[in-house]
Amino acid sequence: MASINDLYALGGPPAKAKIILLGSAAFHTENLMNLERSLHIEHVSPAGLSRREISRRPGSAAATEAATLASLRKWFFARKPDAGFVLTDFPATLLQALVFDEWMDARDENLVAVYAAPDAPASVLEHYRTLGLLKHDEAALAA
């Protein structure tokens, strides 16, 4: 695996990089988070988006998932297509990953990489592993 410093070598200009961080935020190393900040790309999390909106508390898991997808969809289609981003805490389920893939296809965009913590959902890990996007080398992230 390439070192963390050349993570974006194949993904075009760093400001256009599109990355997903799966699993616990505590896992993602300080080096990776500092690199993310240095790229001047948008860091997006469903928790951050839901704090910006006034809404009722959903009553079920299905309602929570629908609310999460709705707020992320609103963000995704409102941003400039060439703007890079780092997503954390999303997608958290296989359904969210599949829906997100449809959004990316609709805008003819591609992810650069998906990094995963050990506690990331297995179904989402397998999905991104199948697509060849999963970069699950914990030693490289800790370097």
The Cα–Cα gap between 33 and 31 comes to: 6
DSSP element (H, E) containing 86? strand 85-88
pLDDT score of 124: 93
Radius of gyration of the chain (CA): 15
The Cα–Cα gap between 53 and 119 comes to: 28
Q: Where are the domains of the chain?
A: 16-142
Average pLDDT over residues 38-46: 62
pLDDT score of 43: 61
Alpha helices in 14-93 (DSSP H): 30-38, 46-52, 61-78
Indicate if the pLDDT at residue 97 is higher than 60. Answer: yes
The two tokens of residue 72 are 């992320």
Query: Does domain 16-142 match CATH 3.40.50.620?
Result: no
- The single residue listed with the structure tokens 């179904």 is 123
pLDDT score of 139: 38
pLDDT score of 128: 94
Q: Give the confidence band of 7 by pLDDT, cuts at 50, 70, 90.
A: very low
The answer to pTM > 0.75 is no
DSSP element (H, E) containing 134? strand 134-135
pLDDT score of 53: 46
pLDDT per position as a tens digit, 115-129: 888 888 999 999 999
Q: Give the confidence band of 140 by pLDDT, cuts at 50, 70, 90.
A: very low
Indicate if the pLDDT at residue 24 is higher than 60. Answer: yes
**How far are the Cα atoms of 46, 55, 56, 88 from residue 114, in angstroms, in the given order?**
17, 30, 32, 10
Average pLDDT of the chain is: 74
Q: Give the confidence band of 48 by pLDDT, cuts at 50, 70, 90.
A: low
